[in-house]
Amino acid sequence: MALIFQQLLFLREKHIQEKHFVLILSFFVGLCAALTAIMLKLLLHLIQQLLTNNFSISNVNFLYLIYPAVGITLAALLVKFVVKDDISHGVTKILFAISQKKSRIKPHNIWSSVLASSLTIGFGGSVGAEAPIVLTGSAIGSNIGRLFKMEQRTLMLLVGCGAAGAIAGIFKAPIAGLVFTIEVLMLDLTLTSVMPLLIASVTAAVVSYFFNGTEAMFKFSLTEPFEMQRIPYVLLLGVFCGLVSLYFTRMMNWLEGHFRKITSWYKKLLLGIPILSLLIFIFPPLYGEGYDTITMLLDNESGKLVEGSLFFSLANNYWLFVGYLLLIVLFKVFASSATNGAGGTGGIFDPSLFLGCVSVFIFSHSINYFDIIPYIPEKNFSLMGMAGVMAGVMHAPLTGTFLIAELTGGYDLFLPLMLVTISSYLTIIAFEPHSIYSMRLAQKGELLTHHKDKAVLTLLKIESVIETDFLPVKPEMYLGDLIKVISRSSRNIFPVVDGDGVFKGVVLLDDIRNIMFRQELYYRFRIKKVMMSPPARIYLNMPMEKVMQVFDDTNAWNLPVLDDDERYIGFVSKSKIFNSYRKVLVHFSED
């Protein structure tokens, strides 16, 4: 079988140009991503219907306390004992794979995220299925590319095709799939990338249309057209969405940071499950993806949000009802963090849509209730709020605009959607320069960006530029011993290390030139007397952007590289970095 496949690879290389073969692969990646997305949705909704089909509308449902615990426990056990790898934060893992792993994603991500997120969300976990399916699609693209021995640049493109196909397939939104890949995964839009991404997106959308029909996911009918005099209120809405996004981003990051400090997986379960179950029991709209809540608000059926809760009788009291919704907005981030922190698997696509819709409904509903300004259509503004908060959380205004337009069919609101997403994005970047997906990678210098110089430096690894032909000497050696080492060396710098290999300093040939030919001094001076400290030290875990900053700050040309225990590894030179930089830049800039 392996021999036959090798022959097929040979025939492909001989008869099909790579640029054409990439188009063929992008079609199959889009097809597989869409089928996987459909499978995930079917499995997830099947579990939800089986569990909640007989829930009471007017009475409290105590099973809300049990279902999330069961789902997260099953998902955590699956990840811990079957997958044996971290599969949460799907988009962040894709960004890390592109920046640091040469776009290689482990094969188990093709199925593990689908199964774990189905259990998590189907049983009530308050997260979304989109990030897991994006990771799944990207894993499909990565592994298909590796199967056909594609180079790193093509592998990166196929990862993007998988992500685009996953978004297009699960949302029936081909344009949003393309834009998401460019904005969030930060792939450059070039002549070689646009066609494969489009093929994958369109293929996935067509497959989704075939199985699920052509209707938008949320049925939205524009009963009140947008009026130009509402532009100031739309811009104000964008600022509000940016602040909501800031709250969600920082609170999510803070809460998940606390969960990460807990090293025991079962202790995470014991902490996260009670928080999630109690929140869902008190606020049933927090159960699952939250799409039912969004549908109710877009259909002007907000009163249904209290069904099956402790607050069923409060729907007609404005103050109590708004207070109920405000608590849902505040605690949504706690429910989502507890879901993932306890061991569940899910993303923040749906929580950001949910948060945007509910928070902006409160915003517009309160304005209309108090008659502060002329009437504003609540469902229109709720739709814009979904786009605004998503744009703010993901730092992706185009994705927010096109996704909501395609998700709801609300193309008549395209102008206000763009205004909201732009003003939301401008608001949040004043406080947070990176999205919730990329902030941790950016802090470590491991994030690939659209900034060409930074992107190339991110792709460079310090291990690839270390030079090891510098002959080390010991501090107890005499000058005469150093002269013998100099005679064998082609370098003018000599690292000084002790018996354990710990770096102590350097000897520069220029510093001893005036005494190196005076033989009477050979056994009067030891190396520790003539060595000096380098202007800076480079460590193996330093990102390349930080390395270049050190070179610029010190004006040095060669600097020693050490490990975490201060042991000498080698030297890195500015000229070596520049040569490697040029090679990577040329490789990833070819069209």
Task: Decide: 91 and 396 in contact? Cβ < 8 Å.
Answer: no
Query: What confidence score (pLDDT) does residue 2 get?
Result: 62
pLDDT band at 581 (very low <50, low <70, confident <90, very high): low
The crossing angle, in degrees rounded to 10, of helices 414-429 and 231-260 is: 50
Q: How many CB atoms lie within 10 A of CB 225?
A: 9
Task: Decide: 169 and 143 in contact? Cβ < 8 Å.
Answer: no
The pairing of beta strand 558-562 with beta strand 568-573: antiparallel
Same fold, 15-212 and 228-447: yes
Instruction: Give the residue among 159, 171, 99, 94 at the shortest CA–CA distance from 390.
Output: 171
Average pLDDT over residues 234-243: 95
Residue 449 has pLDDT above 70, yes or no: no
For the chain, the structural domain boundaries read: 15-212, 228-447, 455-589
Residue written as token pair 């990030």:
131
Question: Which is more confident, 578 or 122?
Answer: 122
Q: In the beta sheet, which residues pair with residue 226?
A: none
Q: Which residues contact 332 (CB under 8 A, 6 or more apart)?
A: 126, 248, 286, 351, 354, 355, 358
Quote the tokens at residue 542.
Answer: 């330093």
Using DSSP, state whether 432 is helix, strand or coil: coil
Residue 186 has pLDDT above 70, yes or no: no
Q: In the beta sheet, which residues pair with residue 8?
A: none
Average pLDDT over the chain, rounded to whole? Answer: 84
Whole-model pTM: value is 0.76
Summarize pLDDT for 297-314 with one digit per residue, the tens. Answer: 888 787 778 777 777 766
Residue 129 has pLDDT above 80, yes or no: yes
Torsion angle in degrees (nearest 10) through CA of 506, 510, 515, 516: 80
Can you say how many angstroms the Cα of residue 132 is from the centroid of all Cα atoms in its chain? 11
Output helix, strand, coil percentages for the chain, rounded to the nearest 5: 65, 5, 30
Task: Decide: 547 and 577 in contact? Cβ < 8 Å.
Answer: yes
Question: Which is more confident, 512 or 384?
Answer: 384
Instruction: Give the residue among 292, 294, 213 at the shortest CA–CA distance from 48.
Output: 292
CA distance 58 to 62: 13
DSSP string, 526-566: BHHHH-B--S--EETT--HHHHHHHHHHHT-SEEEEE-TT-
**Which of these ranges, 74-88, 250-264, 332-346, 432-446, has the smallest mean pLDDT?**
432-446
Burial (CB < 10 A; 0-12, 13-18, 19+), residue 520, is exposed
Query: What confidence score (pLDDT) does residue 446 get?
Result: 45
Average pLDDT over residues 446-462: 51
CA distance 163 to 169: 10
Task: Decide: 340 and 280 in contact? Cβ < 8 Å.
Answer: no
CA distance 586 to 590: 6
Burial (CB < 10 A; 0-12, 13-18, 19+), residue 258, is exposed
Residue 423 has pLDDT above 50, yes or no: yes
Query: What confidence score (pLDDT) does residue 188 get?
Result: 59
Residue written as token pair 């060396």:
489
The 3-state secondary structure of 122-153 reads HCCCCCECHHHHHHHHHHHHHHHHHHCCCCHH
Looking at domain 228-447, its CATH superfamily turns out to be Clc chloride channel (1.10.3080.10)
Quote the tokens at residue 255.
Answer: 């809460």
Question: Which is more confident, 142 or 316?
Answer: 142
Query: What confidence score (pLDDT) does residue 452 get?
Result: 46
Torsion angle in degrees (nearest 10) through CA of 186, 172, 120, 244: 60
Instruction: Give the residue among 107, 131, 133, 126 at the shortest CA–CA distance from 43.
Output: 133
CA distance 196 to 414: 26
**Category of 445 on φ-ψ map: left (φ > 0), alpha (ψ -120 to 50) or beta:** left
**Which of these ranges, 43-57, 106-120, 405-419, 435-449, has the smallest mean pLDDT?**
435-449
Report CA-CA distances (Å) from 494 to 531, 562, 570, 574: 9, 15, 10, 17
CA distance 513 to 500: 29
Residue 8 has pLDDT above 80, yes or no: no
Q: Which fold has domain 15-212?
A: Clc chloride channel (1.10.3080)
Q: How many CB atoms lie within 10 A of CB 523?
A: 11
pLDDT band at 368 (very low <50, low <70, confident <90, very high): confident
Report CA-CA distances (Å) from 185 to 115, 395, 396: 24, 11, 10
Q: Which residues contact 502 (CB under 8 A, 6 or more apart)?
A: 565, 566, 567, 568
Instruction: Give the residue among 180, 179, 80 at the shortest CA–CA distance from 130.
Output: 180
pLDDT band at 353 (very low <50, low <70, confident <90, very high): very high
CATH of domain 455-589: 3.10.580.10
Instruction: Give the residue among 430, 517, 505 at the shortest CA–CA distance from 475.
Output: 505
Average pLDDT over residues 525-533: 84
pLDDT band at 580 (very low <50, low <70, confident <90, very high): low
Can you say how many angstroms the Cα of residue 499 is from the centroid of all Cα atoms in its chain? 44
